[in-house]
Amino acid sequence: MRRVGVLALQGDVREHFATLENLGATPEKVRRVTDLDGLDGLIIPGGESTTISHLLVTSGLREPLQDLISGGFPVFGTCAGLIMLADEVLDGRSDQWSFGALNVSVRRNGYGRQIASFETPIVLEGRGTVLGVFIRAPRILRWGNDVEVIASHDHGDGEHPVLVRQDSVWGCSFHPELTSDVLVHGLFLDALQEALR
């Protein structure tokens, strides 16, 4: 049974827990460095990216997590989690930092503020369709050739990736944990299983 950590400093922790449990994984809350021990992967949930980044520093998790991710540890960031993994954050605050693990540029609130939240079907190439819940979602504006685009969305100004993967690092603009569909989390867990073989 796969043990998957959910960064539990701020954001959609409970919803990710429920989705992982539905898939037969064992979710673990990560609040301290010792909580990382024995995990097969980690989810960085949606929330407020500047708050999460501040709490990662004050909890002492920033450097240990940076080392793990740089070493190939599987991690999946949704919404604010995607921002935390991107190697470039456009229009971020002066104290904004990220792990720089995904070769993408993201714009915070790239699909609009809270009032502009929306839901739309998202097609995962060759894998099915899920409901994409976009809430102050980051928009991926640049992505490298080493980034696999699993799903895109056209919001009226051309296609932009909304679910991407680079080696063991996954990023998602929307909130798959806010629906009953487990397909996106299932893809991440399948990748964990492959890595463990």
Q: CA 21 to CA 15: how far, in whole Å?
A: 10
Going by DSSP bridges, is the β-strand pair 75-78/41-44 parallel, antiparallel, or unpaired?
A: parallel
> Please, which residues have CB within 8 angstroms of residue 84's CB and are 6 or more apart in sequence?
44, 49, 52, 53, 56, 77, 98, 99
Catalytic residue (choose from 153, 172, 177, 185): 177
| Catalytic residue list contains 177 | yes
Distance in angstroms between the alpha carbons of the first and the last residue of the chain? 13
Catalytic residue (choose from 15, 28, 79, 160): 79
Give the total residue count for the chain. Answer: 197
Inter-CA distances, 56 with 4, 30, 59, 66, 188, Å: 18, 11, 5, 10, 23
Catalytic residue (choose from 16, 153, 160, 175): 175
| Catalytic residue list contains 172 | no
Counting beta carbons within 10 angstroms of the beta carbon of residue 142, is it exposed (0 to 12), middle (13 to 18) or buried (19 or more)?
A: middle
- Residue 177, helix vs strand vs coil: helix
Q: What positions carry a catalytic annotation?
A: 79, 175, 177
